[in-house]
Amino acid sequence: MLGEQTQRPGSGGAKFGALRRSAWVLVCTLLLVGPVARPQPAAAEDVYTYRSSNGVQHFTNVPTDRRFQTFSPPAQRVTTFSLKGRSATRQAAWADATVGRELRELISETASRFDLEPALMHAVVRAESGFDPRAVSSTGARGLMQLMPETAREVGVRDVFHPRQNLEGGASYLRGLIDRFSGDVHLALAAYNAGPGAVEAHGGIPPYAETEEYLRRVLRFRREYLREALRVQRNPGRKPDRHVRLR
């Protein structure tokens, strides 16, 4: 090793100088070449976006236009909220109003495809995740409609953080619960929160504080959306409220 070399009179000193020069050559070579590249993990499905001339921002995972660029989410901050003993940590992406409008339109479109009332679907997403696609609860529920891993697999969702996939999976699950409980939205919502087994075991809404509070919140949000939709219908020129705008 170089650290163990000692300089002696005669040929030993010359030998040590040659070794030192060789070491410098090696160091310079490494600096020029740079670190050895490491294999990168496979990337998740990319989302692409572009803003058109009229200010509308478009999103897709299959870009068909050269204007689409890879979407980089806005800066995130972690917030914590509690609901009658339930704690969850969500990463709230503070997107601009245009992105929010696109998301609300996607929620309405998905609700219509699964024969759900848009106001109800908006209310569930708002109560579950606060419209945050990256929300993760302390129990492991994820995404806009807070799908548990087993539920996501059941409804065929591959990427729970992909807004469209999560909404479609959650809408499919909610639609199935409404049909399972003969169109009773209250029982379906209770099952969405506590599980259909708990609803069936209790013969109705389970007497859980969290589930009762969840029902109150969702139904309150739903009434707000319905009132706003009615006001917009009566006054077409009125600008809808940012938080309750429906398509």
Catalytic residue among 4, 109, 128, 150: 128
Q: With helix as H, strand as E and coil as C, how does the chain read?
A: CHHHCCCCCCHHHHHHHHHHHHHHHHHHHHHHHCCCCCCCCCCCCCCEEEECCCCCEEEECCCCCCCCEECCCCCEEEEEEEECCEEEEEEEECCCHHHHHHHHHHHHHHHHHCCCCHHHHHHHHHHHHCCCCCCEECCCCECCCCECHHHHHHCCCCCCCCHHHHHHHHHHHHHHHHHHCCCCHHHHHHHHHHCHHHHHHHCCCCCCHHHHHHHHHHHHHHHHHHHHHHHHHHCCCCCCCCCCCCC
Catalytic residue status for 200: no
The catalytic residues are: 128
